[in-house]
Amino acid sequence: MLNLVSVEKRFGELHALSEITISFGPNETVGLIGPNGSGKSTLVNVVTATYGPDAGQILFRGTDITSHEAHRISRLGIARTFQNLRLFQRMTVIGNVEAAQYGMPGNVFFRFRPDDRRNARNFRQKAEWALEQVGLQDVRNRLASSLPLPQLRRLEIARILARDPELVFLDEPAGGMTPTESEDMARLIADCVAPNRTCIVIEHKMDLIAHVCARVCVLNAGQLIADGDPEEVFVLPTVIEAYLGRAAAHA
């Protein structure tokens, strides 16, 4: 349902993505892993049109979306969370989930349409439902800025659920969490996010990846170096080398 064909992204001399060819099928839950700076977030940014690729093609359900703008991609049913969280800090928790449904990619701009206004009540109901799913119904009227990080990450998940996208990218959903909080997040992803949609999970926490993903893709220095079953991929010498090489470089 999502196909990247020879996708390239450069930042000056840096090849953030080199000739990435990869496909994700309907209802698959796939882990996207790799050392810091390997291009994981860039891949999400290129698919969701934060910026366009320098070369290659991106197809969603057979439609070429390579040069689509972000709001069009969002309306097609592709959504994401952000590694560094993008929420309206001075809006209530439920307000954040309602706002997510107004077809806004990230929080860059608001795009009211007449039918959106008419649907305001539906948005409210869906927001209530989504907050229940992630366990935030009791704090729904608090300001987002008052929540601790694990709850903010759950709020990002609620924003996704309320939109019910066909394809979702979760960019380090357990970033900054304790092992227990990560386990809760893994369960939430497996139970509420993954069913009935394609879900691509970027994470450094391999426990979480192993828990929710039946397939893992590994990036290193902008290249796809492995793609397959987690148990097989985790023990590949090239994959271990990619992680150890980096650890050694930083030692």
Measured CA to CA in angstroms, residue 204 lies from 30, 46, 64, 182, 210 at distances of 13, 21, 31, 11, 11
Instruction: Give the nearest distance from C-beta 19 to ligand ADP in angstroms.
Output: 15
CA distance 152 to 250: 30
Nearer of residues 35 and 56 to Mg ion, judged by Cβ: 35
Nearer of residues 14 and 244 to ligand ADP, judged by Cβ: 14
CA distance 251 to 240: 16
Nearer of residues 17 and 162 to ligand ADP, judged by Cβ: 17
Nearer of residues 8 and 164 to ligand ADP, judged by Cβ: 8
Restricting to residues 63-92, which ones interact with Mg ion according to CB under 5 A?
83
CA distance 2 to 48: 12
Residues found near ligand ADP in the complex (CB under 6 A):
11, 14, 16, 34, 36-42
Applying CB under 5 A, does 220 fall inside the site for Mg ion? Answer: no
For 198-218, the DSSP string reads EEEEE-S-HHHHHHH-SEEEE
Instruction: Give the nearest distance from C-beta 16 to ligand ADP in angstroms.
Output: 4
Among 41, 81, 182, 220, binds Mg ion (CB under 5 A): 41
Question: With CB cut-offs between 5 and 8 Å by kind, which of Mg ion, ligand ADP, none does residue 218 bind?
Answer: none
Instruction: Give the nearest distance from C-beta 15 to ligand ADP in angstroms.
Output: 9
Both tokens assigned to 54: 């320098």
Measured CA to CA in angstroms, residue 248 lies from 95, 222, 233 at distances of 45, 19, 21
Instruction: Give the nearest distance from C-beta 113 to ligand ADP in angstroms.
Output: 30
Closest CA to 86 of 94, 95, 96, 76: 96
Nearer of residues 66 and 81 to Mg ion, judged by Cβ: 81
**Chain position whose Cβ is nearest to Mg ion:** 41
Question: With CB cut-offs between 5 and 8 Å by kind, which of Mg ion, ligand ADP, none does residue 141 bind?
Answer: none
Instruction: Give the nearest distance from C-beta 91 to ligand ADP in angstroms.
Output: 27
Amino acid letter, residue 110 = F
Orientation of helix 149-163 relative to helix 179-188, angle to 10°: 10
User: Is-contact 199 33, C-beta < 8 A?
Assistant: no
Question: With CB cut-offs between 5 and 8 Å by kind, which of Mg ion, ligand ADP, none does residue 14 bind?
Answer: ligand ADP
| End-to-end CA gap in the chain | 41
Residues in binding contact with Mg ion, number by CB under 5 A: 3
Nearer of residues 36 and 180 to ligand ADP, judged by Cβ: 36
Nearer of residues 16 and 20 to ligand ADP, judged by Cβ: 16
Both tokens assigned to 152: 């903010």
CA distance 142 to 7: 42
- Beta-bridged to residue 55, according to DSSP, are 8
Binding residues for Mg ion, per CB under 5 A?
A: 40-41, 83
